[in-house]
Structure 1
Amino acid sequence: MKKLYPLLFLAAWLLAACSNHEKDIVSISGIIKGLGNDTLYIYGTDRLYNRLDTLTVKEDKISTQLEIDTLISAWLRFSDGTEIPIYMNKGEKIEINGSATCLDSLYIKGNTANEKLSLFRQKIERDTTLTAQALEDSAKVFIQNNLTSPASLYVLDKYLVQKTSPDFPEIKKLIEGMTGELKEYLYVENLLRQIETAEKTEPGKMAPYFQLPSSEGKDLKRTDFKDKYLLLHFWASWDEKSKESNQMLRKIYKDKKKHKDFEILGISLDTDKDLWKEAIENDTLTWKQACDCKGWNSDIIEQFNIRALPTNILLTPTGKIEGRNLTQEQLEERLKEIVKEKKQTKK
């Protein structure tokens, strides 16, 4: 009888160990019609899940298990480059269903975050009449109704942050309403740092100091354009929208004689000096050009909070930031005002 106790204890321990192991597993299954045989990838979006897992699809069917020990936010990446957010926790059974012809409308269930986000994404995808403003309003309502859900961070990023000119005060307000757990996500920490930088480069603030090598081989800095309005134009030779923007600036720069108090400085995000100089010549860019060939890693990108190309920033003669992303009409109107202001000061 004495020998039986250790055996019973060992059996109980093994049973508990197996039970705990099962709790650390998340199962993923489902059918995506038309996907056939494929390999998908799941990778984490924060420090809680910093690995890459593969997910095999056979005849449209998904079936796999992953070991995780907490709620994690991840991306499900398809072979065509489409990425779908997915949320998983230990012990959950995640189910993915939909069609390969419309991956943005996949329905993912197994927890509240996946289900609510799936319904939101499907609603957005189906409503073709939604204006940009209506889309933003819908995103804000979703976030305000899901202040404890990591799905809110995806909606915040996709519909409110990833814009040419995000409304950072509004974004900060939404983050302030979220739970402390969400605020600890690496994404939120990075976003708040980005907002802090953006606030330093708002209209009315002094432009940060910069010094960059020019296309002529000399260093250019802000003080080289003293007593002039200076338009900083961030662009790249590989960006199609930048070419359109340069074309617009060429029209404005033609009237340079009328606007002696105005200058343009093109700041390229190219990493290849030859391609940069070739673009300057081919596109007939006659204003000053600068580039340190560091691309998005250039210090000036962070200094001026550049998140998209092209971006323009208008500086006053005293070095203050007057405006960002001015249209051709706005620039032309402002130049007319500058000429009038100059005439009045001469009287």
Structure 2
Amino acid sequence: MKNLFTFLTLILISSLCFAQDAVQFEAKIDNKNGDVLYIKDNNIIVKEIKIDDKGLFKASFSVKEGMYQMFDGAEYAQLYLKNGFDLKMTMNAAEFDETIKFEGKGSKENNYLAQEALAEEKFGYDKLLGLDEPNFNKAIEQKKNADAEKLKQAGLDAKFVELHKAGLDMNMLGLQQYYAQISANRKLNNSKAPNFDYENHAGGKTSLESLKGKYVYIDVWATWCGPCRAEIPSLKKVEEQFHGKNIAFVSISVDVDKDHEKWKAFVKEKDLGGIQLFADKNWLSDFIKAFNINSIPRFLLIDPNGIVVDADAARPSDPRLQAQLSRLLP
């Protein structure tokens, strides 16, 4: 009996230690995007949480203290997790960032992250990126100081503050690098566009010179590029909206040569419109290098005289493109 009592006591102590050395996580999600939540550390799945018969996502799992992401379908939220946390989350996935709320141990830091995500979503980054360099640098410094002061005054876990501040600094660095790229692109505006002469999916070759007299909207893409493919439905709508106007819609693939047949099949299968071209030397094509294109999708707008209107034009899914084309093509 004594041995049995000792054994049961050890089991109880072990289970208590496990519970204390783990994150207790529970989520109730209205209008959920799926029946499984994924807790990830970047691309690594830390925990897969399936919905139970009560409609809850519940799990207990150990983590290394730090920042994680919770995915509900394609939507995700940032989490701060630490062993010993007991988090209960509620959310309406139809209004994802606006409705995330946490209760329990660790809720203060995670509610802070949820509110920060909402604030960032509403922040005027387009306006910020449109500033000249001195005003951009001034605005960046003001935002960094405001974010740091807000974090300091929030009374949060010291490790969380350290990690979140590092994340903010990284985001600011990325924003500054993006601004530098945009600034370099702007310098190409109002310059003469270099010519290209590429294979046309419909047969023969097509050059930029042959399109003189029309506005030319160029989509630089590849068949393997997910964000590129995501723009296809919007591009088709824009092409339809401005059909018959003085504009040519040109898609230039930077697929490598070994994927040439894949490109041909993809264009046919997806019934892509406009002028479909295949760049020679893909990324090393002279035209691609002239516009410093090192990431895709990338969009360009050239006027009827071959002058660059916008070396970093809006995407088809961006309402600003339709507004711009409506002004140019009455």
Q: 2:248 aligns with which of 261, 264, 270?
A: 264
Mapped to 2, the partners of 1:274 and 1:23 lie a distance apart of: 56
Is residue 2:26 matched to residue 1:29? yes
Deviation at 1:303, TM superposition (A): 1.5
Q: Distance in 2 between matches of 1:209 and 1:247?
A: 27
Contact 1:229 1:315 in 2 (8 A): yes
- Partner Cα distance (2:205, 2:127) in 1: 32
SS in 2 for 1:196: helix
Cα distance between partner residues in 2 of 1:40 and 1:73: 13
Match of 1:214 in 2: 200
Distance 1:267 1:166, change over 3 A: farther
> What are the Cα deviations for residues 183-238 of structure 1, in whole angstroms up to 9, with x where unaligned?
454x665554433322222275458868554335566666x469767522328788
Percentage identity across paired residues of the two chains: 11
Residue 48 of structure 2 corresponds to 54
Q: d(CA) in 1 for partners of 2:178 and 2:192?
A: 16
Name the residue aligned to 1:234.
219
3-state SS of paired residue (1:198): helix
Tell me the amino acid that sits aligned with residue 274 of structure 1: A
Kept in 2: contact 1:228–1:316 (CA 8 A): yes
Letter in 2 for 1:57: I
- What SS does structure 2 have at the residue aligned with 1:250? coil
Distance 1:315 1:52 in 2: 51
Give me the whole-angstrom Cα distance separating, in 2, the residues matched to 1:166 and 1:218.
43
Alpha carbons 1:41, 1:52 under 8 Å: kept: yes
Equivalence for 2:259: none
SS at match of 2:102: strand
Output the TM-score relative to the length of structure 1.
0.53
Residue correspondence of structure 1 range 1-347 to structure 2 within 5 A: 25-32=22-29, 38-45=35-42, 50-58=44-52, 59-78=54-73, 81-98=74-91, 105-109=99-103, 110-118=106-114, 120=115, 151-152=116-117, 155-156=119-120, 158-159=121-122, 167-169=128-130, 173-174=139-140, 176-177=144-145, 178=147, 181-185=166-170, 190-202=174-186, 205=189, 206=191, 212-215=198-201, 224=209, 230-234=215-219, 239-253=232-246, 264-267=248-251, 272-277=263-268, 285=274, 288-291=275-278, 303=293, 313-315=301-303, 317=305, 319-322=307-310, 324-325=313-314, 330-331=324-325, 334=328
Cα distance between partner residues in 2 of 1:290 and 1:251: 21
- Contact between 2:193 and 2:308, CA under 8 Å: does it hold in 1? no
Paired position in structure 2 for 1:126: none
Q: Distance in 2 between matches of 1:306 and 1:168?
A: 19
Q: In 2, Cα distance between the equivalents of 1:331 and 1:102?
A: 32
Structure 1, gaps ≥5 residues long: 1-14, 121-150, 254-262, 337-347
Deviation at 1:52, TM superposition (A): 3.7
CA distance in 2 between counterparts of 1:302 and 1:57 reads: 47
Change (3 A) 1:191 1:225: farther
Shift of 1:252: 0.9
Paired residues of 2:250 and 2:276 also in contact (CA < 8 A): yes
The 1:278–1:182 alpha-carbon spacing in structure 2 relative to 1, beyond 3 Å, is closer
Which string of whole-angstrom CA distances, capped at 9 and with x for unpartnered residues, describes residues 236-267 of structure 1? 788322122112332213xxxxxxxxx63511
CA contact (8 A) 2:67 2:78 kept: no
Q: Distance in 1 between matches of 2:172 and 2:51?
A: 33
